[in-house]
Chains A and B, each alone.
Chain A
Amino acid sequence: MLWVDKYRPKTLDKVIVHQDVAQNLQKLVSEGDCPHLLFYGPSGSGKKTLIMALLRQIFGPSADKVKVENKIWKVDAGKRTIDVELTTLSSTHHVELNPSDAGFQDRYVVQEIIKEMAKNRPIDTKGKKGFKVLVLNEVDKLSREAQHSLRRTMEKYSASCRLILCSNSSSKVTEAVRSRCLNVRINAPMEEEIVNVLEFIAKKEGLQLPQGFAACIAEKSNRNLRRAVLTFETCRVQQYPFTNNQAIPPMDWEQYVSEIASDIMKEQSPKRLFEVRGKLYELLTNCIPPEIILKRLLFELLKKLDSELKHEVSHWAAHYEHRMRLGQKAIFHLEAFVAKFMSIYKSFLISTFG
């Protein structure tokens, strides 16, 4: 079992990093009921862990017994029926699903499937009416229409069903949905907190962890706890006992992007652009999301640039990223950005050095 899963806190009182949030949640459910919740925060900050711990707090250990189901739903959409395939993870008390997996059909998932689930009201052994929890992941990736249908569902079935939404950024969730939920902001753990967690794991595993090394992992992790723990485990496999200056393997794609950046800085010509295109394709075929490539590329380029150009370059990066979002093929826009950068940089060089 990976350490990330092994040392995931199981209950709200055992969490290490978000103690204040956990306490608030505990208070919230102490009366046996809770409002709709929206958890938002960067990845690797512990949203999912808190949600699972919360469910355990409400329903007890039976929330752990989950079964995975892959089902094809037949949805009526006007004149024809559409098949929507969706994987759900459910226990007796909650259902977890990823509506954005259905792509552009996510609206039907919300309108039909979630409605169907929300309608059924569980009755516990004492015959008391309980409520059911629906956990929806990646709400920010839902289309606008789907989010609008979601708010209707939230209001209509609020007696029998609670929604827990989980998203990376709250600005992509519509105001209407946000205002119907209690928003819980989960910040990425500070580096010291990551160090604490690493030390906790090291103690449990019986490992010697030098202070400096833990700090080094924390720094490299970009405040992403999951990544930190994974890196820690990788380092454990590579070399033990740890030393303070042990090399932490960098992500290979990040290194690749920084190579591209230095290529671009060295020469600005159509020929070089062609070479860069090949490298960008290489990254894309390895399933690195294009906006991440662009973001990283900008980061690498900004490191090497003169300050007067920085504004212009970041303007164009924002511009092309937006276009990429509207367009279909990412490579055009990545390449356009590289070409634009080359032209800006070249004319800057000519005007300065002649």
Chain B
Amino acid sequence: MTDSAQSALRRIMELESKSTRFCLICNYITRIIEPIASRCAKFRFNTLDQDCVIDKLQNISDLEGIQIENRDVLVELCNLSGGDLRKAINILQTALKMKKNEEKVTIDDLHEICGHIPPKIIKNIIDVCKEKSFQKLEKAIKDLIYEGYSAHQLLIQLNDWIENENCYLNDKKKSVLAEKISKADQYLLEGSNEYLQTLNVCSTLISIT
């Protein structure tokens, strides 16, 4: 809600406090103006614990009779949904719809449903950048787009790679690349061409290695 709407609400909350109790839900407490926040008792909801999510998913899949290959699939599902249980359940349901004949749900299925780029392709792009071969990079990116993966997803996964401890870049280079990624993300949102933006990000990676 806008600040002015929140101020109006504050008045109402005071006046009607005899007859009405308000129950407010928000994603970020910082975006609630101070007077309202001070009038309420606050309950903070943490993101769900990974084990907890996995247990719930296991429970659901047992009840629905979904065949799951092993526990790793659930762990991956948990990572893909970023701790969002609703999203995880939705993905699971979709996976079930795609598999009719008692087949087992695998990690690849989950990747396919989420539009996640397989780690193999990401690794290929990073390796090409390491080789400093521009020609190969052009081809790799073209293939990525022909395969129908989204550039936005590539940026997200490259970002994950930077945060990963296996990343070979030093901190300074990481920050250069991260800045590039954030810029490209903004440009993509404003409707720029996917190919040009990804090429720009990856060529930065070439030039800093």
Q: Which residues of A contact B (CB under 8 A)?
A: 24, 27-28, 30, 35, 40-42, 45, 169-172, 178-179, 182-183, 185-188, 222-223, 291, 294-295, 298-299, 302, 307, 310-311, 314-315, 317-318, 321-322, 325-326
Within 68-121 of B, Cβ neighbours of A (below 8 Å) are at 87, 90, 94, 97-100, 112-115
Proximity bits, B53-81, A CB within 8 Å = 1, else 0:
00000000000000000000000000000
Q: Is the interface of B mostly helix, strand, loop or mixed?
A: helix
Q: Does B145 contact A (CB under 8 A)?
A: yes
Distance of A325 Cα from B90 Cα, bound (Å): 35
Instruction: Please report the C-alpha to C-alpha distance between residue A343 and residue B179 in the assembled complex, in whole angstroms.
Output: 26
User: Nearest A residue to B186 by beta-carbon distance?
Assistant: A322
- Is there contact, CB below 8 Å, between B148 and A30? no
5 residue pairs, one from A and one from B, having the closest CB atoms: A171-B152, A318-B200, A41-B148, A171-B150, A188-B146
**How many residues of chain B have a CB within 8 Å of chain A?**
40
A169 with B97: CB separation less than 8 A? no
Contact A187 B203 (CB under 8 A): no
Surface stretch bound by A, among B3-11, B25-33, B188-196: B188-196
* Residues in B lying within 8 Å of A, measured CB to CB: 87, 90, 94, 97-100, 112-115, 132, 134, 138, 145-153, 184, 187-188, 190-197, 199-200, 203-204, 206-207
- Do the beta carbons of B115 and A183 come within 8 Å of each other? yes
Name the contact of B145 in the complex, choosing from A42, A311, A314 (C-beta under 8 A).
A42
Question: How many A-B Cβ pairs are below 8 Å?
Answer: 105
Closest chain A residue to B101, Cβ basis? A27
A179-B87, A311-B207 are known; give 4 further A-B pairs, CB within 8 A.
A24-B98, A188-B147, A314-B200, A315-B203
- Pairwise interchain contact A317-B112, C-beta atoms closer than 8 A: no
Q: Which residue of A lies closest to B147 (CB)?
A: A187
Question: Could you say which residues of chain A place their CB within 8 Å of the CB of B132?
Answer: 307
| Contact present for A317 and B203 (CB under 8 Å) | no
Q: How far is the CA of A63 from the CA of B22 in the complex (A)?
A: 51
- For the complex, give the distance between the alpha carbons of A183 and B153 in Å: 14
Complex Cα distance, B146 from A301, in Å, reads 22
CB–CB B190/A322 < 8 A: yes
Please measure, in the bound complex, the distance between the C-alpha atom of A141 and the C-alpha atom of B87, giving whole angstroms: 26
Check A223/B146 contact, CB under 8 A, given A35-B94, A185-B115: yes
